[in-house]
Amino acid sequence: MNSRRSFIKNIAFALPAISLAEILLSTSCSKSVDHSHIKRIGIIGAGISGLQAAYLLKQYNKFEIEILEASDVIGGRIQSFTNSNFSSNNNIELGAQVAYGQQNNAWYDIIRKYQPVNLDSKKEKAYVIDETIKAESALSGDADFMKVNSIFNSSLNYASNDVSIEQFMVNNNVPERVKFIYRNNMEANVGGSIDRVSLLMAKEEGLKNSQESHYRLTTTNFSDILTKEYSSVLTKVKTNTVVREIEYVGDVVRVKDQNGVTRTYDKLIVTVPISILKDGDIKFTPALPSAKKEAMDMIGMDAGIRIILKVKNKFWPDDTTVLYSGGDAGVFNIEKDSNGAYILSSLVVGKTAEKMNNRSATNIANDIQADFTALFGAAAGQSIVDSKVVFWSDMPYIKGTYSYQKVGGSMNNRVELSKAINNKIFFAGEATNANGKSGSIHGAMETANRVTTEVLASL
């Protein structure tokens, strides 16, 4: 019940003037609906937006729904790693790992149903500065450290000509020895290289997450919750079905997969990552409108690598939950599992990830071990007992982390991207969120809610 309430609340948020029930009733009873013909609705992608759209449409009991998923699993950019030898907590996330804030966050409402979550807002940070680990509390006398934090905060209020986040850093003379703090803070939120991301748009989008509380699970994980919450539509998912062509000439939409099998739908919802559309991995006939292509050019999606370390003994100050490593591995979130091991997790994005992409997982882990040994002594290096490295840009149906706007971008790009074509092809997925919630789970859910109302209204 709770989830239904939160979903309705969420759609109502997107469409304040009209209730969802009114829209759905008016469209479903509309004289244009041919009740003798059950409408076939295809959904491409079984990430959160595809599953949510199927879940909503299924409530009407009047559609044949099929979700075509290229990979062999559901979840898309929500993927948990459950290996009890690695961690007894069962809560390691390879993709999305936190819910940002509680307000208007349908994902928060869902995870809260399955497990009371930890409020992760009390972060005890430590920084590797000048080759020494220092707790944040010990840095209040460090002028450079105070300056970088103040510049980060001032960027949240930036209102002048659009510049890249990096340009803002340069313009404000962030001191060299603390530049990594600024870069890490920014990239952790925007998911792209700071020299590519628009500061004005980041302020409206990803950077808002830096001001929210971050909610994590403790004894279960996002994939598990996804499977439970969307159990009613999992039978609709056809995995290992890579959509290669979409033809929308005439009354129906024809979708061809990698084996040449063609499926026909009355309506099609496309939820694939923007990287897939930008790379032309799906051929549209007719081609996508030029306005959509131009909008896509202004939206980026960079490489990303999730690095997870299992560490036996801590070598950081007591109670630290966030460690700014100063090296390529960036910022580690630290958690203790029920067996007493520490699980360190970082996400490297953009140019740093591109640089690391041609190295093997083992090499990356070995380099971090060597860094820790050099900085903190042999005991620190030896305390790393296991590692897992995931290259998100190597995933052929994801190809990166999440979308951001380039310098000069505007919310119109996302509006344009989200526009339906010929009342037959509809676009959802995080990159189409024009409410400032792109790059998030709850933002992707909002786009599913929007697209559902669009499909219903089109019948």
Ligand X SMILES: Cc1cc2nc3c(=O)[nH]c(=O)nc-3n(C[C@H](O)[C@H](O)[C@H](O)COP(=O)(O)OP(=O)(O)OC[C@H]3O[C@@H](n4cnc5c(N)ncnc54)[C@H](O)[C@@H]3O)c2cc1C
Residues 331-390 that bind ligand X (CB under 6 A): 347
Minimum CB separation of residue 238 from ligand X in Å reads 9
Give the three-class secondary structure for 447. helix
Minimum CB separation of residue 192 from ligand X in Å reads 12
d(CA 11, CA 104) in angstroms, rounded, equals 10
Choose between 398 and 407: whose C-beta lies nearer to ligand X: 398
Q: Is 282 in the site for ligand X (CB under 6 A)?
A: yes
- The residue from 27, 87, 91, 97 that contacts ligand X (CB under 6 A) is 97
Q: Is 225 in the site for ligand X (CB under 6 A)?
A: no
Q: Are 211 and 156 in contact (CB under 8 A)?
A: yes
C-alpha 71 chain-centroid distance: 17
Choose between 139 and 441: whose C-beta lies nearer to ligand X: 441
Helix axes 411-418, 441-458, angle to 10 degrees: 50
Minimum CB separation of residue 208 from ligand X in Å reads 12
Q: Is 42 in the site for ligand X (CB under 6 A)?
A: no
> What is the size of the binding site for ligand X (CB under 6 A)?
41
Residues 428-447 that bind ligand X (CB under 6 A): 429-430, 439-441, 444
- The residue from 41, 46, 53, 296 that contacts ligand X (CB under 6 A) is 46
Secondary structure of 274-295 as H, E, C letters = HHHHHCCCCEEECCCCHHHHHH
> Applying CB under 6 A, which part among 81-89, 95-103, 139-147, 229-237 lies near ligand X?
95-103
Q: Are 254 and 436 in contact (CB under 8 A)?
A: no
Q: Is 392 in the site for ligand X (CB under 6 A)?
A: yes
Closest of 215, 247, 211, 267 to residue 43, by C-alpha: 267
Minimum CB separation of residue 430 from ligand X in Å reads 3
Q: Is 276 in the site for ligand X (CB under 6 A)?
A: yes
Q: Are 387 and 310 in contact (CB under 8 A)?
A: yes
> Applying CB under 6 A, which part among 160-168, 259-267, 396-404, 416-424 lies near ligand X?
396-404
Choose between 27 and 209: whose C-beta lies nearer to ligand X: 209
End-to-end C-alpha distance for the chain, whole angstroms:
28
Lookup: tokens for 430: 């995080």
* 119, containing H or E segment: strand 118-119
Choose between 65 and 139: whose C-beta lies nearer to ligand X: 65
254: β partners: 247, 264
Q: Is 308 in the site for ligand X (CB under 6 A)?
A: no
- The residue from 56, 57, 65, 96 that contacts ligand X (CB under 6 A) is 96
- The residue from 24, 44, 65, 295 that contacts ligand X (CB under 6 A) is 44
Q: Is 243 in the site for ligand X (CB under 6 A)?
A: yes
> Applying CB under 6 A, which part among 42-50, 156-164, 309-317, 407-415 lies near ligand X?
42-50
Q: What is the β-pairing status of strands 237-238 and 425-427?
A: unpaired
d(CA 288, CA 271) in angstroms, rounded, equals 15
Neighbours of 231 (CB within 10 A): 10
Minimum CB separation of residue 146 from ligand X in Å reads 28
Q: What is the β-pairing status of strands 214-216 and 99-100?
A: antiparallel
- The residue from 20, 41, 43, 48 that contacts ligand X (CB under 6 A) is 48
304: β partners: 349
Choose between 300 and 381: whose C-beta lies nearer to ligand X: 300
Alpha helices in 222-360 (DSSP H): 222-229, 274-278, 290-297, 350-356
Minimum CB separation of residue 449 from ligand X in Å reads 12
Choose between 174 and 420: whose C-beta lies nearer to ligand X: 420
Minimum CB separation of residue 64 from ligand X in Å reads 18
Give the three-class secondary structure for 364. helix
What DSSP string runs through 151-209? HHHHHTT--SS--BHHHHHHHTT--GGGHHHHHHHHHHHH-S-TTTBBHHHHHHTGGGG
Q: Is 398 in the site for ligand X (CB under 6 A)?
A: yes
Q: Is 402 in the site for ligand X (CB under 6 A)?
A: yes
Q: Is 222 in the site for ligand X (CB under 6 A)?
A: no
Q: Is 101 in the site for ligand X (CB under 6 A)?
A: no
Q: What is the β-pairing status of strands 243-247 and 125-129?
A: unpaired
Minimum CB separation of residue 138 from ligand X in Å reads 28
Q: Is 95 in the site for ligand X (CB under 6 A)?
A: yes
Binding residues (CB under 6 A) for ligand X: these are 44-50, 68-71, 76-78, 95-98, 100, 242-243, 271-273, 276, 281-282, 304, 306, 347, 392, 397-398, 401-402, 429-430, 439-441, 444
